[in-house]
Every structure is written in structure tokens, then in C-alpha cells.
Structure 1
Amino acid sequence: MKIMIAMLATETNSFAPLPTGLSNFHETCYFDGDATRQPRHAFTAAMHLWRQRFEREGIETVESISTFAQPGGITSRITYETLRDKLLSDIRQALPLDGVALFLHGSMVADGYEDCEGDILRRVRGLVGDACKIGVELDLHATLTPDMVGHSDLILSFKLYPHTDIADRAAELAELMIRTLHGRIRPRMAICETGMISLWRTSDEPMAGFVRDMQAAEASGEALSVSFIHGFPWTDVPFSSAKMLVICDDDDQAAEAVARKFARRIVALRDQTGPRQFDMDPGIDHALSLPEGPVVLVDTGDNAGAGASSDSTFLLRRLLDREIGNVATGLYWDPIAVRICMDAGEGAILRLRVGGKCGPESGDPLDLCVEVRRILPAASQTFVDAPAPMGDSVWIRTGDEVDVILTSIRCQTLHPDAFEQFGIDLRRKRLVCVKSLQHFYDGFVRLTPHIVYLSVPGALDMNFARIPYTRRDGDYWPRVEQPSAMADILL
């Protein structure tokens, strides 16, 4: 037997001002057929695991591209078609194939392609034929479409947000692929639409319990796989919404029943599971009222991991205006400021314009007098158990005792070592401000239990009822109290 493995992924924020081009893929993660022969990267865990597992089974494993771009705006047509066609060319050269395992995001949109993953899978199916088994691992913030399901044999997504289970889900897909290839199971997939657009933090109850129950259904044999596809609120395409996806063995009706059962439950939990956060000043006041020790303030409006520019100054300006010191904040994408600081050198004191460069969502730039405390070329931070690049990075300090981390690669804050590698002791800080939505959580919750989510202006509007969709209709919760899809579930 022979199987092809590959990764082509990014998450598209239709409202973000930054187009996604080839340089983004190459800067974030790009391997041309040799990802599993290189040290493990933050985005290549699935590729490494698949090669190991399939080869242990005696399956010849061939490898195509493995590439991931930091989420951003619409992917350029030439970028998408270049990467897609490279993947298809590698598959064509590897034929005949018994299987294809793909790591895709599920919410990639390119100029001229609203459903990149559906387009990829349709073309792959056309090359490999109906007998070849196609398995796909998706981010749980995917936009699941009929083309994606119709041209695959197996699809599953991460279960956890933050996404600490990427390797676990890759292992699950590998086992299901092997059983399918050997004819031990005949997977049947069913989708149940919920009619909801929101964010669900699985580290908190009741979502943590919902995930445990999905896993219990798999462990009991009720289903081969149960995935809650959260959807991505800022992808403006017709199928954007949360869905249950269930796989059963040769039983369409069972898969539909399990999907419907879990859909009913997540709909019933809708008012208990949405993101709760403070406006800026009330949130800062609340953080300052908490017991002494670091409090993490989360700037949810400027998360690079959801396509924002990561250079907004709204929160930093507010902290400076209020003269709040003993603060660490990051990560700010500002390659121009990084270059100036590197030229000035460590210990330099200079006037520096910081942030506010990418558009109205970034706010106005800040003109600060800063000290260059430390410069780290080619810095990285930890994501799960692998390095994620930050690029050339600089620690600057303002006269108000505010420590700011600037990076040359746009990225969200993932781990305390994003600060600590510079020599910053976060445990001694009053406030630690991170640009993220949730991926920071596992690392920073070990630092402090005090985490305060802030609604900050930026590219990510957390009021889902007012997102200005043009391609996705308005029949969804919370814009509508009981949209048609939800009414169907509750019948």
C-alpha cells in the first residue's frame, strides 16, 4: 500500500486588511516534501506522526508540501493556485495511491475561491479515483462545506481550543485511515448544522464536559469519531457556522442520530458558552482590583492567529494614558521598529514610533521614548511542545516601566517564554497583556489564575450579531434568537 501525506493550511479573516501571499507561507512554515525529515515544527506535528504510524504499519509513505500561513486576509489567487497545483502535481507523480492524508485548515478563502479546501479535495479525488481513501484533519475553526465532505472518506477536527490536541487528532485519523484501508471499517459521515456563530473555549465548563462526552461516545463505540466544528466567525462565506460532524461504521442513520444528539446539546448550552469579556477600562479596573501578582489581560481584538495585524495600539495607549506601570505587553508586529532598534543596539535610548501601521483597525502609532533592553535575532516561542517563529525580536521599555516585545514576524502570544527568553520575570509584573484569543491559555494559566478578557477595538469584532457579512446570510444565532437550522434541531 502507498499513501500520500501533505499540509496546506491557513485561516482567512475576510475582514482583515492584510492579504495572504506566498511570503506568509514561507515565513510561517514551508517544507517541500521533507517536513518529516526536519526537526519538528510548531505546525508539522501531524506530518511527523503520520509518517511514523503509516510506516510502522508497513505502508509506503510519500510526502508533498507541508505549509501553513499565519492567518490573515484573503489569499491571493496566484498564491493559492501555486500551492494547490504543487500538491496536485506531487499526487499525480505518486500515483497509484491507496490513500491520501491531508492537514487542511477548513477556513481558507482565496481570490476566486470561497471554498479552497473543497476545491482541493474535489481535484484530489479526480486524480486518485473513488477507490483511494482520503482522510482530512481540520482545525475546529473550519467552515465545513458539502464539497469537503462529498470528496472525502474521513474528516475530523481538533476537539480543544486552545489547540493542544493536534497530534492526538492526527493519531486518531491515522488509525481510522489504516482500518479503512484494510477494510475493517466503512466510514459514514453525517453533519448537523446548529445555526450558531460564536467562540467556544473548551478549557472552561460546560465546554470541557461537552468535549469529554464526545470522547466518551467514541470510547463506547457509539461513533468512530465525533467532532464539533466551531466555525470561524470572521470568514464571510455561505457555509460559515458551527456544525457537528460524526463518523460511524457503515451506518448513515446512526451517524445522523449521534450528530443530532450532540447538536441539540450544544444548542441548549448556547447562552452558557459564549465568550465573556470586559470593555477596556472596566477590565483594567477589575484586573487592578485582583490580589497582588500577575494578572493576564487579553487583547482579543488584535489576535494574529485570527487574521488581525497584531500592531494595534489601543490597549497600550490606554495603559500609558492611565500611567499604569510594571506591565509587560506583546507581541507587536513592527518590523520597521525592530530594524531601528537593532541598528541602535542594546542599551540605546531613542524616540521610537510603535505600532498603528496597518490601517484603522490598528489605531494610531505611538511615539515613545524607549530603552532597547535586549535584541534576539530569530527568536521563537513555544506552541504545545515545538517552536513557533517570532523572527528578529526586541524588548523595549518605556519610562513608565512598560515592557513591550516587538517582532518582525506577525504572530500571536502563545507562551510565557515569548517574554521570558528576553529576561523578563513575569511573576513580578502587575499586568501581562497578550495579543491572543485563547492559544495563550495553557502556558499562562500556569503563571496565574487571574485572566481577564478584554473587548478591544481591532480587526476582530467579538459581537457576532453585528459582523457585516455580505456572503453569509443573517439567519444565525445570536443575530436571530432561533434561526431555521436551530428550529430544525429542536423539533
Structure 2
Amino acid sequence: MNHNIRIGVAGIFHETNSFAPGRTELDDFRGAWVEDARVFDQKFRETRTSMGGAIDGAEQERAELVPGLITETTPSAMVTREAIEVLIDTLVGSIPQDLDGLLLILHGAMVSESYSDVEAEILKRLRKKLGNILPVVVTLDLHANTSEAMVQQSTCIVGYDTYPHVDMYERAVEGMEILAATIRNEINPTAAWKAPGMLVTPQTMDTSALPMKVLMDRAHEIEHDPQVLNVTVAGGFPYSDIPDAGMSFIVTTNNDEAWAQKCANSLSQLAWDLKEKFVFQEVSIKEAVELTLKYNEGPVIWIEGSDNVGGGSPADATHVLEHIVQLEQPSMMVIRDAEVAKKAHELGVGHDIDCELGGKSDRLHGQPVPIQGRIKRLYDGRFVHEGPYMTGKEGNMGKTAVIESAYLTVVVTELRVPPFDVAHVHSVGIKPIDYKIIVVKSAVAWKTSFGAVARHEINVDTPGCCSANLNHFAYKHVNRPVYPLDCSE
């Protein structure tokens, strides 16, 4: 075995919601900015992250790992044109030219004011520097909006197989295996891409449930073919208003492009045949209350998907809050409000607080709601993932306050925090099992936090930039026709 392989690893990771308020600036990426190799190793070794997978995969292949820029930020609004230039220039500049291969850790749904397909632009500039021959393997999130340009400029694309996402570590290891085998001339990856013309909401992309499971099972069947190196089912991200938004399929074979295209086409047709099953239904808040009162046991998870933090929402929507604060059922929710979190820290534990909570990003996500309560606990907001999602990764909610207001316990955070890991509430002394209702600002990923204790789940229909009703949005750039916006056959 060749012990002298030098493999680079770098990545910029962001899921961009075109309909979210505000803009995403360079400073938003600074908190996760890593360029130093020693910091990279200290931060990511023995974590179940893509970077942790890159470290272990390189060691498995007995390759020298050369880290470049790694940075990310929570899903949010459009990235500014100034920020994206610095990000791409820094990433490209951080990659040395004396490499045998490169593993790129990207999301696949990053959009800037200047580029609708940021990942393709990153690959284009890397190719300009490194040439077209160097093997470049890319890992992508399951919610990637993939494009032919991304496929043409990479050696192989390896997407997550799970949602909630619990396999990014394994996919990075797989990417490293394919990369090393390519470098050693053991395989010749050839890829094909196909999209059925479907916008799919995250709520129907749970890979353990129908209809998504049908596609994933078929993809894994195709991967049993020894000529097939990887099958990526990309559910897409419907809140990125770009031409290539939507579900797509990438099949990579060992030197058989025609077979890759045939397999990709068959998956695309299967998705189209299932399209009506991907239409998602929610219930009104009134119906959610009625259903909850019928259940004898909890927790009942109220899924506020329209304010899905993992989809770029502001995390301060109040459409559910204004109702649940009046409900005489033990309830808990997490909401971002930097002003209230700061005020609570100024007042101190045990003090009463009277405030206007949430609804400060824009009117789409509701008005501030008057809250009177007592400050139960205060924290700096730092925690470490303890569940299956990115185990060992550090999280930061900023200044955090636990406020009790009658039957409602509300965790007020300075920063937006998606409910990816139960440690975000464990860290502030909350036991989910103690509540009849848990409100989650999420679509599906909440299951990695509360799935083990959930007795019932209710998807609540409210306005927001991640609404499951795609007809709420004024799309300007997505390729048409697209289902379900255009329902012609």
C-alpha cells in the first residue's frame, strides 16, 4: 500500500434560505473558522462529524491529511457578495498544489447574492488552480440542490443517506475511500445526474419513513452492483430559490457512464411516480390543541416547521408561542431573543421578568408576545452534542435563560439553535419527559433530540420562511415547470 498519499480536506458549509430575513455576513462564519492543522485535529478528532470522518478515513488509507479552510454557520439568509468572495478566495488559497487528491465538505444548498450555485463556483475556482485531473471528492448534505456543473467538476459526489442526518461521519470515510482508490488508479469514477423536476419539503424526507424510504432502499439496492461506487439521493432544499432547486440523483460507477445514467434516470422516474406522496399536510393550532387534549400521555411534539432553524428560519416565530403561553398543559419551547436573554442575565436567577418575547425578525414570523414569568436558570449556552447527531461537537446558544411562565417553560437563547441534539436542553437542566407538550422549531431533525421520548407528534401549520406549503412563496428563479407548483403531468 502506498503510504505517501497527500490528501487535502476543506469546506464551507451553509444551507441558504432565499426567503429568510436579513443577510448572512462573513462574521457569521468566523465562530467556526478553522485553518490551522493542529486546531483542526484537536477540534474534530474523535467526533462523528464529516471532519472526524476525514481524519479517520485518511488514517485508514494511510494518507497524510492536509487541512485547508473549514467553516460553517447555521442555515440562514442569502450570503452577501462580499462574504462569498472572501470565503471562496480563502478556501482556494488554503489548498496547496502538491496534493494527490482533495476531499471537499460542502452542503450543496449554498446561495449568495452573486452566485446561485456556490458549490459549483467553488469547484470551478479550485479546478482553475489545481487543474482538471486532480481527484476531487465532495460530500454533500441530503438537502443539497445538486447541479450538472457540480457533477462535471468533481470526481465523485457522496451525499448523506439519512435524515435526520446521523451519517455524515460515515459518508466522509466513504468519500476518502473512493478518493484513495482513485488516486491509486484502482477505480475510474464516472458519474451521471438526473432531476425529476420536484420541490420536496423537508418534512417528507425522513429517510426511515415513506415515501423517502422507497427511494433510499432502491438506491442501496443499486449500490450492491459491484460496478456502482455510490448513489446519492439529494432531496433538495426548496427554500433556495435557484434554477436547480429540488430533488436530484447522482450515480457514480466504475468507468460506465451509460449505466450510471440509466440508474439515475430510473431513480428519477421512481421519484416522479411517488410525487403525490411527497405533498405534506399540517393542522391548525386549534386542531393541535384539540388533538393534544385527547392524548393521555406526552410528550406531544408540536412541530413548528415553518420556523425550522435547521432550514434558515429566524428562530423567533411567535405564532405558536402566543397560543401555548395560555394553555394549561406543562409545555416547553426554545426561542431566540437576544434582548430578553440579556435582560434575564441582568436581572438574575429568581427575579420576575416582564417582557415582549420573540417576533423581532420580521412580521412574517409574528409579533412579540407579552410574557410574565420567573427566571429559573441562567447559562452561557455552551454544550457538547451527546446524541447520534455529530456526537462530541460543541454547540453554543449564547446567553441563555430558562423562564417559567405559568405552565410554560421557555428557553430563551441569544443565538439561533436548531434542536439537533438533546444536550441543548439537558445543558440547561431540562428533562424533556417532564412536559406534556414540546414545541420544536424543526422539520424532522428534532427526532435526534426528542424522538426517544416522543409519544405523539403534530405538524402545526403556521406562516414562516420554511413553510411546508410552497405556494406561500414567490419563486422567481427555479426551473419551471416544477411539481407541486406546476401540477401538469
Please indicate the TM-score interval, normalised by the length of the shorter structure: over 0.9
Deviation (angstroms), 1:147: 2.1
Q: State which of 392, 399, 404 in structure 2 corresponds to 1:397.
A: 404
Match of 1:486 in 2: none
Does the Cα contact within 8 Å between 1:302 and 1:460 map onto a contact in 2?
A: yes
TM-score (norm 1): 0.93
Listed as ranges, the matches of 1:362-373 within 5 Å are 362-373=365-376
* CA displacement, residues 435-460 of structure 1 (integer Å, 9 cap, x when unaligned): 11111113312012311111211122
Match for 2:428 among 422, 426, 441?
422
1:170 CA drift (Å): 0.9
Alignment partner, residue 218 of structure 2: 213
Check if 1:380 corresponds to 2:383. Answer: yes
Matches within 5 A, 1:148-227: 148-199=150-201, 200-221=205-226, 223-227=228-232
Find out whether 1:301 has 2:306 as its counterpart: yes
For the pair 1:479 / 2:485, whether they are aligned, the reply is yes
Displacement after TM superposition at 1:221 (Å) = 2.2
| Counterpart selection for 1:435 from 426, 438, 441 | 441
Q: Residue 34 of structure 2 aligns to a residue in which SS?
A: strand
Alignment counterpart, residue 19 of structure 1, candidates 18, 23, 30: 23
CA deviations 1:394-415 (Å, max 9, x no partner) are 11011x2200011111122223
Matches of 1:424 and 1:249, distance apart in 2: 50
Q: What's the secondary structure of 2:157's corresponding residue?
A: strand
Distance between the aligned counterparts of 1:219 and 1:175, measured in 2?
17
CA distance in 1 between counterparts of 2:356 and 2:409 reads: 15
Amino acid at match of 1:129: G
Partner of 1:340: 343
Partner of residue 487, structure 1: none
In the TM superposition, residue 95 of structure 1 has moved relative to its aligned partner by 1.4
Identity %: 26
Q: Map residues 260-279 of structure 1 onto 2, 5 A cutoff.
A: 260-279=265-284
Q: 1:177-208: per-residue Cα shift (whole Å, max 9, x none)?
A: 11111111111111111111013221313422
Pair 453,222 (structure 1): closer, same or farther in 2 beyond 3 Å: farther
Q: Distance in 2 between matches of 1:174 and 1:476?
A: 35
Show the counterpart of 2:129. 127
1:239 has 2:241 as partner: no
The one-letter amino acid of 1:365's match is P
Deviation string, structure 1 residues 352-389 (Cα, Å, up to 9, x no partner): 22111111122111121110000111333634413332
- Indicate conservation of the 8 Å contact 2:237/2:245, yes or no: yes
1:256 equivalent in structure 2: 261
Q: Aligned ranges for residues 28-177 of structure 1 at < 5 Å? A: 29-34=32-37, 35-40=39-44, 45-91=49-95, 94-177=96-179
- Matches of 2:418 and 2:17 in 1, distance apart? 15
Contact map agreement 2:9 2:66 (CA 8 A) in 1: yes
| More displaced 10-residue stretch of structure 1: 387-396 or 224-233 | 387-396
For residue 297 of structure 1, what is the amino acid of its counterpart? W
Q: Is the 8 A contact 1:338 1:393 kept in 2?
A: yes
Cα offsets for 1:64-98 (capped at 9, x unmatched): 1111111111111121111111111112xx21222
287-296 or 242-251, which moves further after superposition?
Answer: 287-296
**Aligned partners of 1:350 and 1:369 also within 8 Å:** yes
Q: Secondary structure at the match of 1:31?
A: coil
Is the CA contact (8 Å cut-off) linking 1:465 and 1:479 kept in structure 2? yes
**2:361 aligned to which of 337, 358, 362:** 358
Q: Distance in 2 between matches of 1:276 and 1:160?
A: 22
Q: Structure 1: 5+ residue runs without aligned partners?
A: 484-491
Report if the CA contact (8 A) 1:43-1:68 is conserved: no
Task: Report the Cα offset of residue 219 of structure 1.
Answer: 2.8
Where do 1:291-330 residues align within 5 Å?
291-321=296-326, 323-330=327-334
- Between 1:71-80 and 1:32-41, the stretch displaced more is 32-41
**1:356 to 1:466, Cα distance in 2 relative to 1, 3 A:** closer
The alignment partner of 1:346 has SS state of coil
CA positional deviation for 1:41: 8.8
Deviation at 1:44, TM superposition (A): 7.7
Alpha-carbon distance between aligned partners in 1 of 2:212 and 2:112, rounded to the nearest angstrom: 32
Secondary structure of residue in 1 paired with 2:460: strand
Deviates more, 1:245-254 or 1:221-230: 221-230
**Which deviations, in whole Å up to 9, do the C-alpha atoms of 1:266-311 show, x marking residues without a partner?**
2222222443322222123212212322111111111121111001
Quick one: structure 1 residues 41 and 209, their matched pair in 2 at CA, closer, same or farther if it must change by over 3 Å? farther
Give the count of matched residue pairs.
477
| C-alpha distance 108-299 of structure 1, shift in aligned 2 (>3 A) | same
**CA 1:43 to 1:118, structure 2 compared with 1: closer, same or farther past 3 Å?**
farther
Whole-angstrom CA distance in 1 between matches of 2:430 and 2:7: 46
Q: Deviations over 1:119-140 (max 9, x none)?
A: 1100101111122101100112
Contact 2:190 2:252 in 1 (8 A): yes
**Please, what is the CA RMSD of the aligned residues?**
1.9
1:488 is aligned to none
Q: Which residue of 2 aligns with 1:285?
A: 290
DSSP 3-state at the match of 1:30: coil
Query: Whole-Å Cα distance in 1 between the matches of residues 151 and 191 of structure 2?
Result: 8
CA contact (8 A) 2:47 2:391 kept: no
**CA distance in structure 2 between the partners assigned to 1:241 and 1:209 by the alignment:** 18
Q: Is the 8 A contact 1:33 1:66 kept in 2?
A: no
Gaps of at least 5 residues in structure 2 are none
Contact 2:297–2:455, Cα closer than 8 Å, also in 1? no
Give the TM-score, by structure 2 length: 0.93
**Stretches of 4+ moved more than 6 A in 1?**
41-44
Partner SS, residue 394 of structure 1: strand
Q: Distance in 1 between matches of 2:348 and 2:44?
A: 32
Secondary structure in 1 matching 2:23: coil
Distance 2:98 2:427 in 1: 48
Q: Work out the CA distance in 1 between the residues paired with 2:82 and 2:42.
A: 27
Change (3 A) 1:273 1:237: closer
Contact 2:15-2:75 within 8 A present in 1 as well: yes
Question: In structure 2, how many angstroms separate the alpha carbons of the residues matched to 1:24 and 1:361?
Answer: 23
Aligned-pair CA distance for 1:42: 11
Query: Alignment partner of 1:246: what SS?
Result: strand
Question: Hey, what does 2:418 align to over in structure 1?
Answer: 412
- Comparing 407-416 with 96-105, greater Cα deviation is found at 407-416
* Separation in 2, partners of 1:358, 1:43: 34
> Aligned equivalents of 1:482 and 1:141: distance in 2?
25
Residue 4 of structure 1 is matched in structure 2 by 8
User: Is 455-464 or 69-78 further displaced after alignment?
Assistant: 455-464
